Structure 1
Amino acid sequence: MGRQRWWIGIWLLAWWWGALAQTPAMPPPQEEELFLEVMLNGEATGLILRFTRGASSGLRSSVQNLRDLELDPKLFGVEGRQEFDLDGVKGLSYSYDAARQSIALRVDDALRAPIEVSARTQRLPGKATVTPGAVINYDAFTRLGTDRSSSVANELRYFNAGGVLTSTGVFNYSSQLRQYIRFDTAWVHADPDTLETWQVGDFISSSLNWSRSLRMGGVQWRRSFDLRPDLLTFPAATLTGSAVVPSAVSLYINGVRQVDTAVPSGPFIVNQVAGINGAGQATLVTHDAAGRAVSTTVPLYVDTRMLAAGLTDYSVELGALRRRYTTASFDYGAPVLSGSVRRGLSDSLTLEAHAEAGRD
């Protein structure tokens, strides 16, 4: 009887071992899918985004989540990928709240593209309209005494959509002299779209700081930045800052307030800072919702003689030298050619050249 029980025990053990061997292995744990409310640097984004979590790893996010949060995947080093580990990005930290089904992301400024704020109003001037008209200006002078004399200076101007025609001169009258001297006569056409000006008649040629000007009669073709008063032609200063929370930003140039605007949390750039010619001082003040203010003052130096990167200034003249100006009306000399050009290669380098040609 004991021998029979012993065989029964062996048979039960063998059956249990075979059944255990035939039991399929448990599948590896799959990733858990989470839909979490996202906070970014302490601000509610209003977004619920999808994240995944493995059994032994941290949270993973899709690259599309970064775009939805208006973050640049390039700065995170994950461009071209579908997903990435949150723990694998330097400068990114997070706190996962399972009870609230939310995640709070903390992103360093280096991972956020700065918000750009312009210190100037980006309002284009309206289209100019021209009504034809004419203007006469004069200035009369008389001297009494033994040598009586009189003079009347005048300016005649007619304008229409094609340009402006001007003529200036002076009439001198005395016992020894009765004479009218013409000063300048010219037709000028300016195009605000191309910032180019054509002038036919009398003019003063272009020059640089180290070259001379010529009084000529002929044709001049030049770039005219003054047709766009809103255009900054010199390299403007740029200031950078960062706001921990959404803030109001004020910019002061030499103590005069220039800008008042609002920025979200994160880095920002204030560009096209004008109002400085030479050395100056800029103060950037940020105010948060609680009224706390952070002030930063930096010295600046702006050289308005330079051209901003990419801008080109030029002038070309062809004609004859004007001689005995103010004493003869039509005294022109040898033909001459003159030209000047300036090019802003960068905000710190402007190249310029000037050339003249003529006959003695």
Structure 2
Amino acid sequence: MCALLAVAPQNSATAAGAQARTHFVEIVMQVVINRVEKEEAVVLLRDESGRIFATADQLRRWRIRPPVLADRIIGGANYFDVFSLDGAAISVNDTRQLIEVMLPANAFETTQRASEMVTRPVPAAAGFGGFLSYDAVWQRTPEVSDPLATVEVGAFNRLGMGSSQFFLRGNDRRGIRLESFWSKDFPQRVATLRIGDSVSRSAEGWGRSLRFGGVQFGTNFATRPGLSLLPMQTVSGSAVVPSTVDVFVNNALVTQQDVPPGPFSIGNIPISSGPG
């Protein structure tokens, strides 16, 4: 069913026939843009010459960038001539109530995508346990028999992990404590609290590390597996029709993305750098 609508153009940029009344007909059409059929039929306007007009909101819903100046202003809304879109190829089938539009890729808004990142693991609740680690050496000559060993004893629970390391030498019949500490990781804050013996961190080439006893709290990126400390790369391109983009790095597929027609960019591309 069609309705007849008579309006007066309000766009002062259209000089010809500015004072004449232009007749528009509301038409209900199914829209196909670059071979993608839109889900719902829409109401468009058709003038006496057969040209079809769509609102700015309709163009944006279709990801089409509206021109700067509207072709008509009707009821306070900006209308744009679909036939006048840059590079547009239009096919109208009134019997099927169908309008097919083909546009170049640069007529669309850019689609932003990101490479799929590994899901951040959820830290498991720690139970109670312990461990014993050792490295023993026994040197024996006709004159000397010298057993050596380093031993680490540790325990852990929901409050963190504690460890003590000792150096044992059989001939001395005594042990030397190397370091003892208790540490607690905070994955959500990417930080670690350490109480006891520790080693300071100095900028490479600017100082030396020192051993000290006390409290240390600082950033620890080891608590966030998969966190990249290097700038992530972005690739971009364009597609005229719905496409699948495969991104390869060193001949290995790193991401696969479905993109609609138009320009696209894919971020978070893992690029090998430095030590890998």
Q: TM-score range by the shorter chain?
A: 0.7 to 0.9
1:198 and 2:193 correspond: yes
* Cα shift at 1:95: 1.1
Q: Aligned to 1:154, which of 151, 163, 167? A: 151
* Cα shift at 1:159: 0.6
Matches of 1:229 and 1:173 in 2, distance apart? 41
1:113-124 matches, cutoff 5 A:
113-124=109-120
Distance change (3 Å), C-alpha of 1:77 and 1:165: farther
1:255 and 2:251 correspond: yes
CA RMSD in angstroms comes to 2.8
Distance change (3 Å), C-alpha of 1:91 and 1:204: farther
* Cα shift at 1:247: 2.7
Indicate the SS of the match to 2:57. Answer: helix
Per-residue deviation, residues 263-317 of structure 1 (Å, max 9, x unmatched): 3333322211114114xxxxxxxxxxxxxxxxxxxxxxxx98xxxxxxxxxxxxx
1:178-197 matches, cutoff 5 A:
178-197=173-192
Conserved 8 A contact 2:83-2:90: no
Matches of 1:229 and 1:202 in 2, distance apart? 25
Unaligned runs of 5+ in 1: 1-26, 279-302, 305-360
Distance change (3 Å), C-alpha of 1:85 and 1:120: closer
Amino acid paired to 1:95: I
Match of 1:231 in 2: 227
Conserved 8 A contact 2:107-2:262: no
Q: Aligned to 1:208, which of 198, 203, 206? A: 203
Matches of 2:148 and 2:268 in 1, distance apart? 49
Matches of 1:28 and 1:255 in 2, distance apart? 63
Matches of 2:84 and 2:156 in 1, distance apart? 66
Conserved 8 A contact 1:164-1:188: yes
Matches of 1:164 and 1:261 in 2, distance apart? 42
Distance change (3 Å), C-alpha of 1:82 and 1:96: farther
Q: Aligned to 2:24, which of 27, 31, 38? A: 31
Distance change (3 Å), C-alpha of 1:112 and 1:128: farther
Distance change (3 Å), C-alpha of 1:156 and 1:61: same
Matches of 2:162 and 2:169 in 1, distance apart? 24
1:78-117 matches, cutoff 5 A:
82-86=77-81, 91=86, 93-100=88-95, 101-117=97-113
* Cα shift at 1:96: 4.3
Matches of 1:153 and 1:76 in 2, distance apart? 75
Conserved 8 A contact 2:235-2:265: yes
Distance change (3 Å), C-alpha of 1:116 and 1:147: same
The one of the two structures with greater contact order (alpha-carbon pairs below 8 A, sep at least 6) is 2
Amino acid paired to 1:35: V
Conserved 8 A contact 1:58-1:85: no
Per-residue deviation, residues 133-178 of structure 1 (Å, max 9, x unmatched): 010111111111212211111011111111111111211122xx33
* Cα shift at 1:76: 4.8
Distance change (3 Å), C-alpha of 1:246 and 1:87: closer
Matches of 1:106 and 1:82 in 2, distance apart? 25
1:1-360 matches, cutoff 5 A:
28-55=21-48, 58-69=51-62, 71=63, 76-77=67-68, 82-86=77-81, 91=86, 93-100=88-95, 101-145=97-141, 146-174=143-171, 177-212=172-207, 213-278=209-274
* Cα shift at 1:231: 2.3
Amino acid paired to 1:86: D
TM-score after normalising by structure 2: 0.78
Amino acid paired to 1:139: D
Conserved 8 A contact 2:110-2:262: yes
Matches of 1:65 and 1:125 in 2, distance apart? 42
TM-score after normalising by structure 1: 0.61
Matches of 1:76 and 1:169 in 2, distance apart? 76
Matches of 1:244 and 1:122 in 2, distance apart? 30
Distance change (3 Å), C-alpha of 1:86 and 1:183: farther
Distance change (3 Å), C-alpha of 1:277 and 1:89: farther
* Cα shift at 1:92: 5.8
Query: What is the aligned residue count?
Result: 249
Distance change (3 Å), C-alpha of 1:117 and 1:265: same
Per-residue deviation, residues 49-102 of structure 1 (Å, max 9, x unmatched): 121133358432122312442x266x65479x7222236976462414153433
